[in-house]
């Protein structure tokens, strides 16, 4: 009898973490993955197009939860997933990352005594003002098995009293997704189709509430980007949360007038095609800090902290503020590329290690 594994996919950054594991479990003789989309992200470019890029099938279950306040979204995911978990009782639940659906489904499993694995466990920004930090703390307090991407994850969990036997450092699974579709990324030629010159542009993503929700912080960011655009062409795939705010404040017009290329959120292959040829990434995303470290591309992260410190200590990332963005950019572009070894187990083989670990724990 194959062991059934519920895999929860909810929001854009989850899909790159779930896809390699779904493929590896599907190929394994002893597991049957069941793909569950909570519907937290639903725009085609934020969801279906990424599923197609990563060769994921239609989900086995779609909970259709959609947007809402934190309590509404978390509660609605719990109510919807509980019905499926009770009816189909999996052998394992795997939740990934740090979005509201991650903590919601982990809570459902804990109360039903369904063993739960957290993939990307142990990350901490130390900043409880971030909703993701609360989701990480909640999930890691109640999961049964912890798959960490880097040694700092293990250290945080041990400090919080987690049994070391429950922790396995599997590495960074997002990079498995990159390797899975590397040829398609190489062929996509998105920079050319947008009139961008290879190696001579910066790719921007911003969506953190702390950056885009307040009028003053968003205006300061827009000013900083306009200043950068004087020296370096910027392309900015705009997240729906940010798009809404740029319209409400009228600040989008300022970016456009300065020459920043504002485009729709790009699905995975198109987006990575922009990243691989970029001179620099300017972002507040978690995953992009990791992908740029893997690819050796400088990354300027507009945040006060990061839950991914290896991207600074062993990678190409640095934290910047709006008022230091321009000087950091000039410095980063002047620096010759370093050939640094990648963090341990960031090698495109993480999903295989997850399957081996799950098998050992199922015996």
Q: What tokens does 59 get?
A: 């989900």
The active-site residue out of 41, 118, 156, 207 is: 207
Q: If you compute the radius of gyration of the chain from its CA atoms, what whole number of angstroms results?
A: 20
Distance CA 81, CA 61 (A): 9
267 binding ligand UD1? (CB under 6 A):
no
The interaxial angle of helices 350-362 and 12-27, nearest 10 deg, is: 60
By beta-carbon proximity to ligand UD1, the closer residue of 196 and 252 is 252
**Binding-site member from 12, 303, 308, 353 for ligand UD1 (CB under 6 A):** 12
Among 5, 11, 278, 280, indicate the residue that binds ligand UD1 (CB under 6 A). Answer: 11
Instruction: Of 312, 300, 343, 302, give the one whose Cα is nearest residue 148.
Output: 343
CB of 209 to ligand UD1, least distance (A): 7
Q: Does 43 bind ligand UD1 (CB under 6 A)?
A: yes
Q: Is 46 in the site for ligand UD1 (CB under 6 A)?
A: yes
**Residue 47 vs residues 29, 39, 41, 95, 174: alpha-carbon distances, Å:** 29, 9, 6, 17, 16
Q: Are 96 and 69 in contact (CB under 8 A)?
A: no
Stretch touching ligand UD1 by CB under 6 A, among 40-48, 115-123, 296-304, 317-325 = 40-48
For residue 186 the two structure tokens come to 């190489």
Q: How many DSSP H helices and E strands does the chain contain?
A: 18, 13
Report, in Å, the least distance between residue 310 CB and ligand UD1: 19
Residues 130-169 touching ligand UD1, rule: CB under 6 A, are: 131-132
Residue 285 near residue 311, CB atoms below 8 Å = no
Stretch that binds ligand UD1, among 1-9, 175-183, 238-246, 346-354 (CB under 6 A): 238-246
Nearest to 325 by CA among 220, 242, 238: 220
Of 42, 233, 254, 322, which lies in the binding site for ligand UD1, with binding defined by CB under 6 A?
Answer: 42
Binding mask 84-123 for ligand UD1 (x = CB under 6 A): --------------xxx-----------------------
If the CB atoms of residues 67 and 189 are measured against ligand UD1, the closer one turns out to be 67
Residue showing tokens 């969990």: 157
Instruction: Tell the smallest beta-carbon distance from residue 50 to ligand UD1 (Å).
Output: 11
**Binding ligand UD1 by CB under 6 A: which of 207, 261, 308, 326?**
207
The residue from 38, 40, 148, 172 that contacts ligand UD1 (CB under 6 A) is 40
Helices (H), 230-277: 240-249, 251-258, 268-276
Q: Three-class SS of residue 166?
A: helix
Nearer to ligand UD1, 43 or 187 (CB): 43
75 binds ligand UD1, rule: CB under 6 A: no
Let me know if 207 is a catalytic residue.
Answer: yes
CB of 245 to ligand UD1, least distance (A): 10
All residues at 6 or more sequence positions from 357 whose CB lies less than 8 Å from its CB, including other chains: 145, 147, 168, 170
Phi, psi of 190 (to 5 degrees): -65, -40
Q: List active site positions.
A: 207
> Which residue ranges make up the site for ligand UD1 (CB under 6 A)?
11-13, 40-43, 46, 67, 98-100, 131-132, 207, 239-241, 244
């Amino acid at each position: 009898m194959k062991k059934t594994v519920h895999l929860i996919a909810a929001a854009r950054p989850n899909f790159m973490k779930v896809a390699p594991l779904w493929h590896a479990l599907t190929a394994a003789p002893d597991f049957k993955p069941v793909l569950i989309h909570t519907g937290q992200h639903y725009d085609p470019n934020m969801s279906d197009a990424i599923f197609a890029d990563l060769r994921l099938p239609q989900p086995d279950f779609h909970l259709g939860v959609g947007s809402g306040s934190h309590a509404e979204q978390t509660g609605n995911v719990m109510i919807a997933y509980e019905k499926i978990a009770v009816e189909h009782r999996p052998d394992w639940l795997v939740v990934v990352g740090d979005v509201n659906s991650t903590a919601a489904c982990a809570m459902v499993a804990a109360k039903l005594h369904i063993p739960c694995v957290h993939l990307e466990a142990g990350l901490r920004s130390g900043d409880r003002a971030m909703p993701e930090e609360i989701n990480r703390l909640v999930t890691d307090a109640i999961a049964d098995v912890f798959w960490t991407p880097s040694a700092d994850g293990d250290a945080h969990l041990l400090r919080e009293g987690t049994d070391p036997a429950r922790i396995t450092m599997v590495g960074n699974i997002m990079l498995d997704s990159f390797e899975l579709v590397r040829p398609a990324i190489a062929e996509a030629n998105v920079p050319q189709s947008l009139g961008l010159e290879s190696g001579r542009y910066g790719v921007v993503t911003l969506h953190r509430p702390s950056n885009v929700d307040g009028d003053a912080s968003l205006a300061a960011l827009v000013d900083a980007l306009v200043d950068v655009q004087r020296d370096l062409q910027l392309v900015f795939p705009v997240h729906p949360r940010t798009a809404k705010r740029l319209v409400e404040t009228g600040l989008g017009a300022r970016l456009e007038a300065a020459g920043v290329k504002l485009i729709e959120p790009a699905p995975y292959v198109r987006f990575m095609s922009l990243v691989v040829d970029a001179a620099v990434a300017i972002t507040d995303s978690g995953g992009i800090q990791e992908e740029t470290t893997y690819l050796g591309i400088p990354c300027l992260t507009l945040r006060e902290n990061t839950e991914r410190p290896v991207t600074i200590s062993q990678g190409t990332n640095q934290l910047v503020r709006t008022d230091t963005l321009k000087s950091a950019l000039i410095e980063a572009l002047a620096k010759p590329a370093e050939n640094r070894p990648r963090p341990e187990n960031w090698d495109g083989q993480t999903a295989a290690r997850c399957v081996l670990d799950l098998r050992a724990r199922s015996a």
